[in-house]
Amino acid sequence: MKIDDEYMRRKLGYLRRSETLYQKGRYKEAFDTIIRAIRIVKREQESDEKIEEERKAKLREKIGLDEGNLDL
């Protein structure tokens, strides 16, 4: 959970910083900062998808389904 908290703080920090930069008229820097937050979200989604696929594979194996029968 510590990693999630760190990522959450980073994302919120980037978004606050981008808001401040945008209000100051520093648009390019603001959007670059938003992109940093987006990268974190993409990494989290990829990690979550990988964990979900592993979980599905374990369930299939546990109940005796092969890949083609049923998608969980």
Average pLDDT over residues 8-26: 93
Mean pLDDT, the chain, rounded, equals 86
Question: Which tokens go with 49?
Answer: 């998808």
Position 67 in a domain:
no
Question: Is there a contact between 24 and 54 (Cβ–Cβ < 8 Å)?
Answer: no
Q: How many domains does the chain have?
A: 1
Domain that holds residue 38: 2-60
Position 71 in a domain:
no
Q: Is the pLDDT of residue 1 over 50?
A: no
Position 68 in a domain:
no
Question: Which tokens go with 45?
Answer: 């989604």
Look at the alpha carbons of 48, 52, 55, 61 in this order and tell me if their dihedral is positive or negative: negative
Whether the model pTM is above 0.75 = no
Position 66 in a domain:
no
Q: Give the separation between CA 56 and CA 20, rounded to whole angstroms.
A: 43
Classify residue 18 as exposed, middle or buried by CB count within 10 Å of its CB (0-12, 13-18, 19+). buried
Position 41 in a domain:
yes
Position 69 in a domain:
no
